[in-house]
């Protein structure tokens, strides 16, 4: 039980972050995020941007899978939709950067709504495999239509905002991280509203939810739409970050990566999506660093990619077997331990 | 329209559909008994093929010894998988178990790449190489004999299901595990048994598929087609696996010939979506009635 969080007004009671400790940590976190780009090397800035994009997309999938209970293996395809929209707008139309991102989000959302239509009739794992179909169809369209540049893909010029050309990780950091934070804030608030609670009710038992007056099709579609909007914006950021978009950029394994991220992090928890995406993005990099430290590193690099695949699989299995609620639960346990520390443990 | 050519293509498609049906049977068996959607079926196929490669080429065993050895090895793998990954998750939501098999697929691919490297390998030829003529149509001998083995195996499995005590126990567990338990059937052992049998069947189809097209660490893609087959047929229907296998094999062959190789997966996935829209539980799957 939490103690010492006495509230005097309803606004204070309903606030997203309601305790002093949370405010302090929030301030520390913001300060670190602000200072990070000035202290870190290019490599770490690159990683920070990549992590941030993955966090945005994983949070989108968390809305759909973690909170609404609809398993999707199409997240990468929706990111692809967003990325291609942004790329085409940037090259052909030259519209402003932030508008492109929004457009990417909305195109992906439209895609999500179409893929979501079967979700009323098709449930559970049948739905998961139907979304695999969606991602193959999307891949085919990317590779075989004229304005997507075929298998060679599209190459973007760097984005520019208020006359500043965003061509380095350092400059992109100031766009990618705030956009991600904004999306996280949106997701965290979503589940305190009528819509978000409807999602949770559908996850827990969809027939009961329908009996309670929740329009299943509308809310399931809404969930698909929101989740793909997140994916689309993340895909747009991805396109500006890597500046090359090809059909192979968004494979099925990427969708599996995001599903794994929210499982490892903790489904149905915003913090879980964040922790999972950070963890799953950093593990391969840490493996690479670890292999570099070992003696005979050059011979080991041959094994790096398969070892990464094995570790990826073992992480999924290990978390499901030993820690089904993911890193968010681990975090909660640590917090509880320090809550009354050192008086009780 | 060249009818003879169409006939030849259709025959090849049906023959490779037989292989799909065999792998799909391995999948459906596990799903029926344990309600686990095993997305790693393609990777289990691959491991079977690589075990055969090791026994036949690296250890230079004769073919008639290498095949049983590979199949037994695969069965052992199936038992280990069931014991370490599936058993602890009994009673967990289906999504969790599904994701465990996703992780398993990744582990198997990684292990194969570490042990055998990612290069493409060729399996030794053990199927007869004289061309087969059906009427005027020519059929690649490997495909024909592969399909023949698949059909015989499927028949054997169906008979075993029907008449052997273990097969009856398996069907009883599939229809109601609690009732089966109370009738004295050792349900956990049935679970193990199904995984072992499924892994063995997968290994056999892996050996056949590998001897037709060669083996590599990306062989698991075959599993995607198998997944389409079982979804189209209905996850828990043996008949669905057979019909779905032949159907998808035929469609892939026709799409590959008349539209081009890149359309193969696209067309099968479109078929999958259409079937799901009309019949959400597949062609022959049980329509589960939900109650509160």
ipTM value: 0.87
Among A306, A315, A321, whose Cβ lies nearest the Cβ of B88?
A: A321
Average pLDDT score, chain A:
87
Question: Which tokens belong to A303?
Answer: 């094994």
Closest residue, chain A, to B270 (C-alpha): A133
pLDDT of res. A106: 96
Regarding beta strands B132-134 and B137-139, do their DSSP bridges make them parallel or antiparallel, or are they unpaired? antiparallel
A132 and B224 within 8 Å at the Cβ level: the answer is yes
Provide the 8-state DSSP code for B121.
B
The mean pLDDT of A11-40, rounded to a whole number, is 85
Residue A207 to residue B290, Cβ atoms within 8 A:
yes
The pLDDT tens digits for A61-73 are 999 999 998 989 9
Are B107 and A310 spatial neighbours (Cβ–Cβ below 8 Å)? Answer: yes
Which residue spans within B68-144 are E strands per DSSP? 132-134, 137-139
Least confident of A3-12, A21-30, A180-189, A276-285: A3-12
Q: Do A314 and B103 touch (CB under 8 A)?
A: yes
B122: Cβ–Cβ under 8 A, 6 or more apart, which residues?
B214, B215
Average pLDDT per 10 consecutive residues for chain B, totaling 292 residues: 82 89 92 88 93 89 88 94 89 85 92 86 78 76 87 90 88 88 90 93 92 85 89 88 92 88 86 87 81 74
pLDDT score, position A86: 92
Separation in Å, CA B34 to CA A335, B92, B245: 38, 12, 22
For residues A108 and A235, the answer to whether their CB atoms sit within 8 Å is: yes
Q: B278, B283, B172: which is closest to B236 by C-alpha?
A: B283
Q: What is the mean pLDDT of residues A27-47?
A: 88
- Measured distance between the N- and C-terminal CA atoms of chain A, rounded to whole angstroms: 14
Mean pLDDT computed over A298-324 = 85
Distances (CA, A) of B90 to A259, B97, B188, B189, B218: 21, 8, 10, 13, 30
Residue A344 banded pLDDT, cuts 50, 70, 90: low
The kind and range of the H/E element at A160 are strand A159-161
Given an 8 Å threshold on Cβ–Cβ distance, is A211 in contact with B292? yes
Would you call B96 and A324 a contact, using CB atoms and an 8 Å cutoff? yes
Please tell me which residue of chain B has the smallest CA distance to A72: B95
Quick check: helix, strand or coil at residue A154? strand
Give the one of B37, B99, B113 whose C-beta lies nearest to A306's C-beta.
B113
CB contact under 8 A, B110 and A309: yes
Taking 60 as the threshold, does the pLDDT of residue A345 lie above it?
Answer: no
Count CB pairs under 8 A between chains A and B: 132
Which of B100, B110, B276 faces A122 most closely, judged by CB atoms?
A: B276
Q: A296 pLDDT exceeds 70?
A: no
User: Which residue of chain B is at minimal alpha-carbon distance from A258?
Assistant: B99
A92, A271 in Cβ contact below 8 A? no
Closest-CA distance of chain A to residue B269, Å = 5
Query: Which pLDDT tens digit goes with each residue over A242-281?
Result: 988 998 889 888 999 999 999 999 888 999 999 999 999 9
For A:117-146, CB contacts with B below 8 A are 118, 121-126, 128-130, 132-134, 136-137, 140, 143-144
Distance in angstroms (rounded) separating the CA atoms of residues A182 and A204: 27
List all residues 6 or more positions away from A65 whose beta carbon is below 8 Å from its beta carbon: A71, A72, A259, A262, A267, B95
pLDDT score, position A13: 79
Measured distance CA(A256)–CA(A237) in Å, rounded = 20
Instruction: Give the integer Cα–Cα distance in Å for B218 and A25.
Output: 46
The residue of chain A with its CA nearest to that of B112 is A306
Query: A266 — alpha (psi -120 to 50), left (phi > 0) or beta?
Result: left
Please give, one letter per residue, the 3-state secondary structure of B221-272: HHHHHHHHHHHHHCCCCHHHHHHHHHHHHHHHHHHHHHCCCCHHHHHHHHHH
Which pLDDT value is given to residue A341? 73
Cβ(A97)–Cβ(A80) below 8 Å: no
Contact residues on chain A for B118, CB-CB shorter than 8 A: 306
Question: What pLDDT score was predicted for residue B93?
Answer: 82
Residues B292 and A208: their CA atoms lie apart, in Å, by 7
pLDDT digits (tens, 9 = 90+) for A118-168: 877 887 778 888 888 888 888 888 888 877 777 777 887 777 777 777 777
CA B63 to chain CA mean position, Å: 22
In this complex, the residue of A132, A137, A208 whose CB is nearest that of residue B266 is: A137
Query: For position A77, what pLDDT does the model report?
Result: 93
Partners of A310 on chain B (C-beta within 8 Å) are: 106-107, 110-111, 114
A307 closest CA partner among A326, A290, A324: A290
Mean predicted confidence (pLDDT) in A193-221: 91
Residue A340 has pLDDT above 80, yes or no: no
Q: Which two tokens stand for residue B25?
A: 């049977």
Q: Do B271 and B233 form a contact (C-beta atoms < 8 A)?
A: no
pLDDT higher at A21 or B155: B155
User: Cβ of A310 and B107 within 8 Å?
Assistant: yes
Chain B contacts of A308, Cβ < 8 Å? 110
CA distance B262 to B149: 29
Nearest to B99 among A133, A207, A316 (CB): A316
Question: Measuring CA to CA, which residue among B195, B149, B207 is closest to residue B15?
Answer: B149
Q: What is the reported pLDDT for A55?
A: 95
Q: The tokens 């399909």 sit on which residue? A: B147
**DSSP one-letter code for B61:** -
> What is the C-alpha separation between B215 and B46, in angstroms, rounded?
7
A325 to chain B: closest CA residue: B96
Q: What is the pLDDT of residue B139?
A: 79
pLDDT digits (tens, 9 = 90+) for A67-119: 998 989 999 999 999 999 999 998 888 788 889 999 999 999 999 999 888 87
């Amino acid at each position: 039980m939490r103690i010492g969080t006495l509230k005097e007004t309803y606004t204070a009671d309903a606030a997203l972050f309601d305790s002093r400790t949370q405010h302090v940590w929030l301030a520390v976190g913001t300060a670190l995020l602000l200072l990070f780009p000035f202290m870190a090397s290019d490599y770490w800035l690159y990683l920070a941007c990549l992590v941030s994009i993955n966090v945005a997309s994983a949070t989108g999938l968390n809305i759909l899978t973690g909170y609404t209970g609809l398993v999707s293996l199409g997240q990468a395809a929706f990111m692809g939709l967003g990325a291609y929209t942004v790329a085409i707008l940037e090259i052909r139309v030259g519209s402003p950067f932030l508008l492109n991102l929004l457009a990417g989000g909305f195109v992906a959302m439209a895609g999500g709504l179409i893929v979501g239509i079967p979700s009323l009739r098709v449930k559970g794992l049948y739905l998961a495999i139907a979304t695999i179909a969606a991602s193959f169809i999307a891949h085919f369209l990317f590779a075989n239509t004229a304005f997507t540049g075929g298998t060679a893909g599209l190459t973007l010029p760097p984005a520019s905002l208020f006359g500043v050309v965003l061509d380095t990780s350092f400059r992109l950091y100031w766009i990618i991280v705030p956009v991600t934070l904004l999306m996280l804030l949106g997701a965290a608030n979503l589940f305190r509203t009528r819509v978000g609670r409807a999602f949770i009710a559908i996850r827990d038992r969809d027939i009961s939810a329908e009996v309670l007056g929740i329009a299943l099709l509308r809310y399931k579609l809404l969930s698909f739409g929101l989740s793909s909007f997140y994916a689309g914006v993340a895909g747009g950021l991805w396109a500006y970050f890597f500046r090359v978009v090809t059909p192979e950029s968004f494979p099925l394994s990427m969708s599996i990566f995001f599903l794994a991220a929210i499982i490892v992090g903790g489904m149905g928890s915003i913090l879980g999506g964040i922790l999972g995406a950070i963890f799953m993005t950093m593990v391969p990099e840490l493996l690479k660093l670890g292999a570099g430290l070992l003696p005979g590193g050059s011979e080991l690099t041959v094994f790096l990619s398969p070892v990464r695949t094995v570790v990826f699989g073992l992480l999924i299995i290990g978390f499901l077997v030993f820690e089904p609620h993911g890193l968010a639960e681990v975090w909660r346990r640590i917090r509880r331990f320090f809550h009354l520390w050192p008086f009780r443990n | 329209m060249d009818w003879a050519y169409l006939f030849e293509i259709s025959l090849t498609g049906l023959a490779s559909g037989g292989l799909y049906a065999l792998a799909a049977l391995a999948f459906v068996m596990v799903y029926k008994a344990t309600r686990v959607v095993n997305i790693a079926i393609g990777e289990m196929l691959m491991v079977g093929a690589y075990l055969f490669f090791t026994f036949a080429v690296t250890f230079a065993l004769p073919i008639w010894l290498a095949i049983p050895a590979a199949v037994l090895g695969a069965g052992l793998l199936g038992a280990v998988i069931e014991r370490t990954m599936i058993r602890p998750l009994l009673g967990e939501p289906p999504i969790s178990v599904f994701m465990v098999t996703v992780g398993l697929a990744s582990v198997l691919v990684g292990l194969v790449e570490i042990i055998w490297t990612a290069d493409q390998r060729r399996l030794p030829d053990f199927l007869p190489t004289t061309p087969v003529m059906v009427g005027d149509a020519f059929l690649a001998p490997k495909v024909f004999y592969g399909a023949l083995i698949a059909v015989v195996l499927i028949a054997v499995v169906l008979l075993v299901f029907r008449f052997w005590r273990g097969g009856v126990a398996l069907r009883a567990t599939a229809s109601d595990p609690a009732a089966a338990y109370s009738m004295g059937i050792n349900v956990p052992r049935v679970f193990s048994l199904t995984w072992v049998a499924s892994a063995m069947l997968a290994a056999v189809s892996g050996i056949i598929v590998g001897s037709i097209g060669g083996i590599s660490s990306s062989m698991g893609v075959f599993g995607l087609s198998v997944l389409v087959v079982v979804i189209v047929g209905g996850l828990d229907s043996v008949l669905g696996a057979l019909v779905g296998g032949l159907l998808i094999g035929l469609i892939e062959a026709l799409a590959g010939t008349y539209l081009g190789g890149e359309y193969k997966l696209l067309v099968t996935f479109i078929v999958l979506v259409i079937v799901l829209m009309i019949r959400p539980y597949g062609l022959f799957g049980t329509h589960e009635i939900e109650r509160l």
